[in-house]
């Protein structure tokens, strides 16, 4: 199976920090698989995820070393996304690598416009085209039945779980190749969490997914591969079953069995 993304020897230092937050991290994100990142708070898992679409670049002064390779659309060869300098190319990168955040982030617009916004920015103008993608995205995000009669209502009127599904619909409307989830269910109730988890296992058929979670059961339920991080290092990466059943590192075993973290 091909790797959609490959993080190679990535060292990342925040602006003004003397110590790097990520130390020589390597991680593959396989195509059409779910890769989970687990580890205690402050281990760098979110920092790693936020490097994979270069959202760190919003705040100047940080430093990347190493490489994050993204499979080219023609599947021949890779491009190191850390080499991207121009803003136009960064925008293109973020359309290819979508992101869902911890807190739902509906834009202050109608439900329809929330999803159409990214499409409009990427140049889709025709109303019919927009309508088609909005409907398909909402269906894929399991929100169509609940939202179809109020597409012209403000998106902030939706419940938290619905808002998070809207954010997923918004991301998949752009047909990204990779979707990054940054603790997407930690602000949601158990039923909404279940809905999102089910959706992730369906989305896997079309997208490559990397998810940060502090809920180990969630990683075990939905991921194919798991990386365990601790203090800015990748301690162990393997198939999820192996990580949870017979990890090779003592630290991983201690964390999984709840001895720390």
Within positions 175 to 234, which residues make up the interface with other proteins, using CB under 8 A? none
171 binds other proteins (CB under 8 A): yes
Contact with other proteins (CB under 8 A): which of 107, 110, 124, 221? Answer: 107
Whole-angstrom CA distances from 214 to 38, 45, 195, 227, 255 are 6, 10, 18, 12, 11
How far apart CA 174 and CA 154 sit, in angstroms, is 21
Ranges within 108-147 binding other proteins (CB under 8 A): 108-109, 117-118, 121-122
Those residues with Cβ within 8 angstroms of residue 242's Cβ, 6 or more apart along the chain or in another chain: none
Written as six digits, the tokens of 120 are 């409009």
Query: Which tokens hold the place of 11?
Result: 């060292």
Instruction: Identify which range of 17-25, 31-39, 167-175, 219-227 contacts other proteins by CB under 8 A.
Output: 167-175
| Interface residue with other proteins, options 17, 91, 202, 245 (CB under 8 A) | 91
CA dist 170 and 53 (Å) reads 16
As measured in angstroms, the least distance from the Cβ of 260 to other proteins is 29
Nearest to residue 36, comparing CAs of 210, 214, 246?
Answer: 210
Minimum CB separation from other proteins for residue 146, in Å?
20
Which residues are near other proteins by CB under 8 A? 53, 55, 58, 87, 91-92, 94-95, 98-99, 101-103, 105, 107-109, 117-118, 121-122, 154, 156, 167, 170-171, 174
């Amino acid at each position: 199976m091909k790797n959609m993304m490959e993080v190679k020897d990535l060292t990342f230092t925040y602006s003004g920090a003397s110590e790097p937050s990520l130390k020589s991290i390597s991680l593959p994100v396989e195509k059409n698989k779910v890769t989970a990142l687990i580890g205690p708070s402050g281990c760098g898992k979110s920092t790693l995820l936020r490097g994979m679409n270069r959202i760190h670049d919003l705040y100047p002064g940080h430093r990347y070393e190493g490489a994050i390779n993204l499979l080219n659309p023609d599947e021949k060869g890779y491009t190191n996304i850390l080499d991207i300098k121009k803003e136009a190319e960064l925008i293109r990168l973020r359309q290819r690598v979508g992101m869902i955040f911890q807190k739902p982030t509906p834009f202050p617009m109608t439900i329809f416009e929330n999803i159409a916004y990214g499409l409009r920015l990427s140049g889709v103008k025709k109303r019919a085209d927009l309508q088609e993608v909005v409907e398909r995205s909402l269906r894929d995000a399991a929100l169509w039945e609940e939202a179809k009669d109020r597409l012209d209502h403000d998106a902030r009127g939706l419940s938290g779980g619905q808002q998070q599904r809207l954010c997923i619909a918004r991301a998949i409307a752009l047909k990204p190749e990779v979707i990054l989830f940054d603790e997407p269910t930690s602000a949601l109730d158990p039923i909404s969490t279940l809905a999102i988890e089910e959706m992730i296992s369906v989305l896997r058929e079309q997208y490559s997914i990397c998810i940060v979670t502090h809920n180990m059961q969630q990683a075990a339920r939905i991921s194919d591969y798991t990386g365990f991080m601790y203090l800015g290092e990748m301690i162990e990466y393997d198939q999820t079953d192996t990580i949870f059943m017979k990890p090779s590192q003592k630290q991983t075993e201690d964390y999984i069995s709840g001895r720390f973290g």
